[in-house]
Amino acid sequence: MYMKKILITGGAGFLGSHLCRYLINVGHQIFCLDNFSTGSYNNIKNLLNHPRFSLVKHDITKEFHIDDPIDEIYNLASPASPIQYQIDPVKTLQTNVIGMNHVLELAKKKKARILQASTSEVYGDPMIHPQLEDYWGNVNPIGIRSCYDEGKRCAETLCFDYYRQYNVEIRVVRIFNTYGPFMSPNDGRVISNFIVQALSGKPITIYGDGLQTRSFCYVDDMILGMVAMMEKNELVGPVNIGNPTENTITEIAETIVSLTDSSSGIIYEKLPEDDPKKRMPDISLARMNLDWYPKISLQDGLNKTIAYFKHEDEKKNNAV
């Protein structure tokens, strides 16, 4: 197999670190670029001494250059949870727009194929269900989530304009809710929040009435979908990558309480502004063109994720 030189921006993040490990394990050379605003050294510490892994500490809102030839670029550089991206919304927008432009410029110079990790948030609070790739979305352009939603929408625009104007080889995937080991316990995502609360016996906090829905894809399935899209010729996207099984937030909470054998009750708080009521992908394009669909059940994925959080808790307790 040809060893590719692959740049992963945001490579120390949750998804990025899984992608680094997968691509190293199949024989490629990885350049992991991250500014560690939300990424973590802990996510990549087992890779730091690997001969085919190089860490580049950099912020993609500033221009950069990689001396080595680059065959492929995965752009995952962006805060991804509402708590993270609302800390500095201007920086979030700049990362997704100015940063995207810098990464596309590098792809153009290196003649590299680039995959943009876009998001289901481009659909906003959708008026159609499930969401198809040809749906243009229902997004508030001036709300508290706009820095991320509109930033990702503009990043897709830049990708397609570089594709049409400069013949840059792009791939665009729209990632739906993903979970698994190496999630940050403090990032405010539904599953990590619920697991941390359940393991500590604290009340599970649900925002809204709990009837809003999400579709959760285990991280190993997500990585395979992204790689399949990168390797597919003559398919630009966008393509939805996610789990087409829909669950209410209350169902997720009750499942996690059961799997952790927790005594946690459930409390309800006000739903944040512009929080989507429904979210579920139509993955017909991915099935047809990539022969991809998620294979890991929610219960199996949650058990793996719970085991990870338990192990992390044990390490902290032993270190005290």
Q: Nearest CA to 168 among 243, 245, 109, 252?
A: 109
Q: What is the DSSP string of 103-145?
A: HHHHHHHHT-EEEEEEEGGGGBS-SSSSB-TT---B--TTSTT
- Alpha-carbon distances of 31 from 76, 148, 172, 199, 264, rounded to whole Å: 13, 25, 20, 36, 42
Per residue in 50-95, pLDDT (tens digit) is: 999 999 999 999 999 999 999 999 999 998 878 888 889 999 999 9
Tally Cβ neighbours within 10 Å of residue 70.
Answer: 21
Per residue in 36-52, pLDDT (tens digit) is: 999 999 999 999 999 99
How does the average pLDDT of the chain come out, rounded? Answer: 94
CA 12/CA 83 separation, integer angstroms:
18
Tally Cβ neighbours within 10 Å of residue 236.
Answer: 14
Averaged pLDDT for residues 189-193: 92
Please, which contacts does 121-124 make with residues 24 or more away whose CB atoms are closer than 8 Å? 121/145, 121/148, 121/149, 121/152, 122/149, 122/152, 122/153, 122/156, 122/174, 123/174, 123/276, 123/279, 124/149, 124/274, 124/276
Q: What SS3 state is found at 173?
A: strand
Averaged pLDDT for residues 183-192: 88
Per residue in 126-164, pLDDT (tens digit) is: 999 999 999 999 999 999 999 999 999 999 999 999 999
pTM of the model: 0.95
Catalogue the active-site residues. Answer: 148
87, 223, 275, 100: CA torsion to nearest 10? 50
Per residue in 259-311, pLDDT (tens digit) is: 999 988 999 988 777 778 889 999 999 999 999 999 999 999 999 999 999 98
CA 249/CA 261 separation, integer angstroms:
18
pLDDT of residue 289: 98
Domain 5-179+217-243+280-296 in CATH: superfamily?
Answer: NAD(P)-binding Rossmann-like Domain (3.40.50.720)
Q: What SS3 state is found at 162?
A: helix
Q: Nearest CA to 271 among 187, 193, 211?
A: 211
Q: Where are the domains of the chain?
A: 5-179+217-243+280-296
Tally Cβ neighbours within 10 Å of residue 19.
Answer: 27
Backbone φ and ψ for 185, nearest 5 degrees, come out as -70, -10
